[in-house]
Amino acid sequence: MTTARLPRYSAPMRYGQFCPIAKAAEVLAERWMPLVVHELLAGSTRFTDIHRGVPLMSPSLLSHRLRELADAGLVEQRTFGRRHEWHLTEAGQALGPVIHAMGEWGLKYAQDPLDESDLDVRVLMWNMKRRMNPESFPRRRVTVAFEFTDMPSSRRYWWLISDHGEIDLCPTDPGFPIDVYVTTDVRTMVRVWFGKISFARAVDDGMIELIGDTATQKNLGASLLLSPLALHPVESRDRGLTPTLVSHV
C-alpha cells in the first residue's frame, strides 16, 4: 500500500528579532501572502473565490497560507451548514491600509514596464467583475462579450453579465444574446483598469473596439469603477493626461 505524499512547505520565516517590522514580515513576507490578504480584503470569503484572484497559486498552497493566517490570528474559518468561509479578524482588517500602500507604491514604482507573463486575463476579468456597477445597466439581463486578441483561444473570450443588479463572469459562452462586443488586448485593458488611460480615450484611439447596442456602449465606461488603486486621468488632447491617485480603498 502506498501513502500519498503531502506537499512540503518551508517553515514560516523567523528573524529572531523583537522589531515589529520583523514580526510583521514573518507573516506578510511569505510568498503569495499579500495577494491572499488582498483577496480577503476585497470581499472574497469562499475558497474558490479567493483562488480566482490568485489562479497561479496551487489550491494546496492556498490552504496552507490560509491556515498560517488563521494561526497568526488574521483570519478565522466560519461554517454555514456545509459551506466553509474565511473571514478577516479585526487584526486582518487592519492590514487594509498596509496592502493599499503596497499597491500604491507598486503602481508608481514597480509596474512599468509589464512583462507579457504578468498579463493574466483571469485576474483582470475577476477584478473587473467585482468592480462593475450594475446601476449603470438597464434592469434586465445585459451581456457584454470580451475578445482579447493577444490571448490564446482558451482565454481569449469572456462574458460579463448584468442581470437585475447582479454581475456574473463567464469564461465560456453562456448562450445569451450579446448586447455589446468588446475587442481589445489585455495590456490596453490593464491600462484602463488602473486609470492610465480612460475607457473613452482607448475607444477613440482604436485600442478598444465596440460593436452593439449604442446605449449600452455609452454606459460601459461608466459601469467600470476601475481598481481602487487607479489613477484618474484628466483628459485633454491639448494638455495630455495628468494622473492623480485615488485616495479611497
DSSP secondary structure letter of residue 77: E
- What residue spans define the domains of the chain? 20-99, 116-245
Q: Which of 44-48, 146-150, 216-220 has the lowest mean pLDDT?
A: 216-220
Q: Which of 28-37, 59-68, 134-143, 195-204 has the lowest mean pLDDT?
A: 134-143
Q: Phi/psi of residue 224, each to 5°? A: -90, 110
Q: Which residues contact residue 41 at a Cβ distance below 8 angstroms, ignoring those fewer than 6 apart?
A: 88, 93, 95, 96, 99, 249
Look up residue 72 and give its three cell numbers: 497568526
Mean pLDDT in residue range 88-96: 97
Question: What is the third-level CATH fold of 20-99?
Answer: Arc Repressor Mutant, subunit A (1.10.10)
What are the CA-CA distances from residue 92 to residues 9, 34, 44, 53, 77 (Å)? 23, 11, 13, 18, 13
Looking at the predicted structure, is the pLDDT value of residue 58 above 60?
Answer: yes
Reported as a pLDDT band with limits 50, 70 and 90, residue 241 is: very low
Q: Which residues contact residue 241 at a Cβ distance below 8 angstroms, ignoring those fewer than 6 apart?
A: 196, 197, 233, 234, 235
Looking at the predicted structure, is the pLDDT value of residue 42 above 70?
Answer: yes
Greatest pairwise CA separation for the chain in angstroms = 74
**Among 232, 238, 224, 248, which Cα is nearest to 196's?**
232
Q: Which of 6-10, 68-72, 90-94 has the lowest mean pLDDT?
A: 6-10
What is d(CA 149, CA 144) in angstroms, rounded to the nearest whole number? 16
Mean pLDDT in residue range 57-64: 96
- Which tens digit of pLDDT belongs to each residue from 175-199? 999 999 999 999 999 999 999 999 9
Q: Which CATH number fits the domain 116-245, given the four candidates 3.40.190.10, 3.40.50.620, 3.30.1950.10, 3.30.1050.10?
A: 3.30.1050.10
pTM score: 0.82
**Among 178, 115, 100, which Cα is nearest to 141's?**
178
Looking at the predicted structure, is the pLDDT value of residue 6 above 70?
Answer: no
Who wins on pLDDT, 125 or 5? 125
Who wins on pLDDT, 14 or 87? 87
CA 29-35-40 angle, to 5 degrees, is: 115
What is d(CA 46, CA 83) in angstroms, rounded to the nearest whole number? 8
- Which tens digit of pLDDT belongs to each residue from 107-166? 999 988 889 999 999 999 999 999 999 888 888 999 999 999 999 999 999 999 999 889
What is d(CA 122, CA 86) in angstroms, rounded to the nearest whole number? 22
Q: Which of 98-102, 111-115, 212-216 has the lowest mean pLDDT?
A: 111-115
What is d(CA 86, CA 76) in angstroms, rounded to the nearest whole number? 6
Most confident of 46-50, 107-111, 164-168, 215-219: 46-50
